[in-house]
Amino acid sequence: MKMNKEMVNWQDLERLGFPPYTAKSIIRQGKAFMVQQGYEFYQGKRVSIIPLKAVKSVIGDIELLSEAEE
């Protein structure tokens, strides 16, 4: 499936093929990016979902496709 969601969590990244630690690391880095942008809400420990734009800021602007759509 093409990643056309607005908000992404680490399970979504895992489904796309990222290892669990890498997926969680991407979320962590994306949260830091959002805090830098002025969204202090993302400083919270329990926040585990971030906007797709934050994910793309970490891994680049690549097409996120799962094996199901290929």
10-63 per-position pLDDT tens digit = 999 999 999 999 999 999 999 999 999 999 999 999 999 999 999 999 998 766
- Interatomic CA distance for residues 29 and 15, integer angstroms: 19
In a domain, 67, yes or no: no
Enter the pTM of the model. 0.82
How many degrees, rounded to 5, is the angle at CA 20 between CA 3 and CA 14? 20
Residue at 45: amino acid letter:
K
In a domain, 47, yes or no: yes
Q: How many CB atoms lie within 10 A of CB 25?
A: 15
Res 2 pLDDT > 60: no
Q: Are 8 and 57 in contact (CB under 8 A)?
A: no
In a domain, 17, yes or no: yes
In a domain, 51, yes or no: yes
In a domain, 43, yes or no: yes
The boundaries of the domain holding residue 41 are 7-59
In a domain, 53, yes or no: yes
Q: How many CB atoms lie within 10 A of CB 11?
A: 13
